[in-house]
Structure 1
């Protein structure tokens, strides 16, 4: 959303977080239940609208630590001049290589081919000509693998010209059918209303069901103050509508979230992260209210602001999202990586003296190290080079539980708590779970024998760049050298299977997987060698991928381990 004409809530009142006095807010407890898994870590809320441009705006080195999940970018031929821009920005095709390097996927917002916002409708002939051009550009981009949706319109509840174009539902059907006549593979997403509205959703889905034009991903926006308070109700209402209409459940994307007065408040970002993870959202993206190509204000002059650190800590999470129970406005999102024995909690929202209580820590030993840092609140035009230290200490685990006091909290700051054993913690991450990685045209599953309980299966596609199947692991290593890469896998075909292995855009080599006892039963590994640069590297294991002829048979992926 850009140039939205709505009254903005004053900055001192942010999403229900009217800054309380310590006497009103102190004494709240956020509970983290390490033993209750919510879902695999996929960094659901790590995304943005118009977040990246070409070149060094923003630099890949600043993108990597965020482990971006999903972006919405304008289409090829973009003419949109949002928020006072003088030249179009962020063409989804031109940034595709950069997006893949960062580990993300993207929607293309098709109406941003228009220059103005709100969009100025010309005619159906004009629109359909534009759609054909955009879709054909995607079909011609045979090495681009990260376009996982055409967003047919943006906020039709106030930008669709009913007087000239007819009803939006009829326009959706007409556009959907045109695209499917050209491209039968790339997902179609929508309806992308600016707010969630029950009646609009019923009307839209009924028409889409009856015309055979249901979206592959359901999209709406959560943009007004206090919207994160309503996410649970909106998801429940939407699922009830699906059931009532006999529609197979669709993934949900909130591809714009946070109001202008919220978007640069670190603790508000934490609230959105928590509710999106808790309520099954597939992907979510910071709104574009100001300048493009800055990761939506996480960077200023290509360097971090205070909000950047909130998303960096979230990007550091691995393993599984575990249950958190907020206390008043004290909210958080937490992850536990059982192979690293690390708990990572990102939290915030209250002032005064509060507590984070972590349960289920038996596997970490009788004593643990707990370290707390905070973000600060610089806003979007002041840089902050590092988080601010709060506390660090050793805690005795009693009944699997510790309670960490966090004193003199500021309601706008975000905080990170990391809990590890007091010794034996590796200095860098060596194991990367497949279910935490970028999974393209395949699916995540759970299994008791799998590392951290999850794996990726149905890595089956090899036909073309729109349905080839692969898993991309974004890894960070301490030095340039050869590493032994151990791959945990299952191959229930009864015969040898192969996949392609490539890293950092280099040539493919073949990985061979001998048969194992059954699908979804893990413990078998194969080893290979990879030559990596110091720092961030992208490793792809593929059944099918551009520049790769395709693997033989099938294999499921549990993890990779670098040593």
Structure 2
């Protein structure tokens, strides 16, 4: 979807864009409830993603993107010809932006039909299309140092852009294209079908034939645009029921376009989508591409952050585990608990007037807590703004039931707000020192649950090496206060009989090897099972990679699972 398709979409859909309240009489006196003792899922920044968010390797710069902890991007293919949203030259080639994608800790899907210059796409012939597929896939295969490409998106919005008269039925076209890709690339996941909306009938027909043809997508994709955020939970539940009905193994769900033009750059509206994606358990979600490429879809203006950027930055600051949040009327949000530092981070909004946030499960924080309230502002996509300042700081007594209630007066329904809650004396450390592996960028490995793992999760099956499409590694984005020497302790498990090794590199520097002596079992962690290394880090953000395989590294030996890393200034 891009801006030029609005009329096409409205012609084919009944638009049900949800409007934000406009007067205090519509919504006030609501209380958002956060359960700090609960657990929704590990922090993975599910909805920190963009479509055409990067124009080239420097726009936006990786240094601007790193604080957002980007999860998943969708970019056009090598050789892109698409001129989206007024562009005079094609932008966003996935292989050209790859260095910035990798440096910012993200992964990317490649949207193949954007090899065509027009949208809606103008079909030429099957020989033309399959020739283009051949060229695109071979270009990626020849990019021998490019990691973090984790999906081929065969088509975009086939319910509105597939030319059945010239190309035949889409389901047949999917199978034909899938087989062509797999004849060249048996490794990279294939994603689809990428419908404009959640359409059960379309998906049922598509999945039925794809199952029969042996061409099921590895990741299921649809868009959440004109239907608003309220129906996302119903769509996900219905899709899971459809999988069961058809006897299909559950697929990761990608919503690789979300939010209508009047929502995507309103902080609270984008937040409503994020809240739904977090609680429904989708794999990833990307901001829709309505405006200029290279702005992360409105998070930057003239290279500087907008108000929406700051909301996503608060989201990027989340660590540990996501918490259950109960909405109240139009008031909704997301929250996390960094149990190591004892920080509850609540981001909320969507209501006018005087409301409140109640946080339960704070007994372990002591008898009183420090609460800082900040507002994002509402600048829109064409006004840059400096980082917001806190509007209040207070010490609040924790009730005997372990809860606090914080009034938030004079709310603007368009803005997002952040509550940071720590023990009264502050967080347990002035900067984050422990980073959970499951919160990091996990490439060709798996997040797994384990009772002995810190925070209840770890990363295992870090097994792939020798091919950039299946190299296994974990990228940690860390933020240190000063430049200098740091020691790094890696919590790990090695259930093998001998010492395992992985590669260690940071900030694109040279490789060294880190060793993991056998611990006796898999998925079992203890404080004594650590391996140490010395790092020379720059002040601010750094990217640390632990790899079984990676470009420039010949490959590790044996196998090891990673629980967390802990940094200390030397």
TM-score (norm 2): 0.96
Deviation at 1:328, TM superposition (A): 0.4
Take 1:147 and 1:55, find their aligned partners in 2: how far apart are those partners? 15
Which position in structure 1 is the counterpart of 2:82? 80
Take 2:563 and 2:473, find their aligned partners in 1: how far apart are those partners? 13
Which position in structure 2 is the counterpart of 1:549? 554
Take 2:286 and 2:388, find their aligned partners in 1: how far apart are those partners? 23
Which position in structure 1 is the counterpart of 2:180? 178
Which position in structure 2 is the counterpart of 1:108? 110
Structure 1 residue runs of 5 or longer lacking an equivalent are none
Q: Spell out, residue by residue over 1:85-117, the C-alpha distance to the aligned partner (whole angstroms, 9 max, x if none).
A: 100001000010110000000000000010111
Q: How does 1:236-251 map to 2 (within 5 A)?
A: 236-251=237-252
Q: 1:360–1:401: 8 Å Cα contact kept in structure 2?
A: yes
Q: Is it true that 1:196 corresponds to 2:208 in the alignment? A: no
Take 1:390 and 1:204, find their aligned partners in 2: how far apart are those partners? 51
Counterpart of 1:153 (choices 147, 152, 155) is 155
Deviation at 1:388, TM superposition (A): 4.2
Deviation at 1:332, TM superposition (A): 0.5
Which position in structure 1 is the counterpart of 2:367? 366
Deviation at 1:18, TM superposition (A): 3.8
Counterpart of 2:92 (choices 90, 93, 107) is 90
Q: How does 1:527-546 map to 2 (within 5 A)?
A: 527-546=532-551
More divergent stretch after superposition (16-25 vs 404-413)? 16-25
Q: 1:14–1:262: 8 Å Cα contact kept in structure 2?
A: no
Deviation at 1:214, TM superposition (A): 0.3
Q: How does 1:125-524 map to 2 (within 5 A)?
A: 125-224=127-226, 226-398=227-399, 399-423=401-425, 425=427, 426-523=429-526, 524=529
Take 2:107 and 2:295, find their aligned partners in 1: how far apart are those partners? 17
Take 2:516 and 2:233, find their aligned partners in 1: how far apart are those partners? 42
Structure 1's consecutive aligned runs of 4 or more residues displaced over 6 angstroms after TM superposition are none
What SS class does the counterpart of residue 563 from structure 2 fall into? strand
Deviation at 1:55, TM superposition (A): 4.2
> 1:141–1:381: structure 2 CA closer, same or farther, 3 Å change rule?
same
RMSD of Structure 2 on Structure 1 (CA):
1.4
> 1:228–1:18: structure 2 CA closer, same or farther, 3 Å change rule?
closer
Q: Spell out, residue by residue over 1:447-483, the C-alpha distance to the aligned partner (whole angstroms, 9 max, x if none).
A: 1211111100011111311111000001111111110
Deviation at 1:14, TM superposition (A): 9.8
Deviation at 1:518, TM superposition (A): 1.4
Take 2:563 and 2:162, find their aligned partners in 1: how far apart are those partners? 45
Deviation at 1:390, TM superposition (A): 2.4
What SS class does the counterpart of residue 103 from structure 1 fall into? coil
Take 1:260 and 1:45, find their aligned partners in 2: how far apart are those partners? 17
Deviation at 1:22, TM superposition (A): 2.2
What SS class does the counterpart of residue 58 from structure 2 fall into? coil
Q: 1:123–1:165: 8 Å Cα contact kept in structure 2?
A: yes
Q: Spell out, residue by residue over 1:535-560, the C-alpha distance to the aligned partner (whole angstroms, 9 max, x if none).
A: 11110000111111111111000001
Deviation at 1:54, TM superposition (A): 2.0
More divergent stretch after superposition (513-522 vs 312-321)? 513-522
Q: 2:16–2:228: 8 Å Cα contact kept in structure 1?
A: no
> 1:424–1:328: structure 2 CA closer, same or farther, 3 Å change rule?
closer
Take 2:264 and 2:517, find their aligned partners in 1: how far apart are those partners? 50
Take 1:389 and 1:505, find their aligned partners in 2: how far apart are those partners? 35
Q: 2:20–2:269: 8 Å Cα contact kept in structure 1?
A: no
Deviation at 1:5, TM superposition (A): 3.2
Q: Spell out, residue by residue over 1:309-342, the C-alpha distance to the aligned partner (whole angstroms, 9 max, x if none).
A: 1100000000000100000010011000110100
TM-score (norm 1): 0.98
More divergent stretch after superposition (421-430 vs 99-108)? 421-430
Q: Spell out, residue by residue over 1:410-436, the C-alpha distance to the aligned partner (whole angstroms, 9 max, x if none).
A: 111000111011225222111110000
**Count, aligned residues:** 559
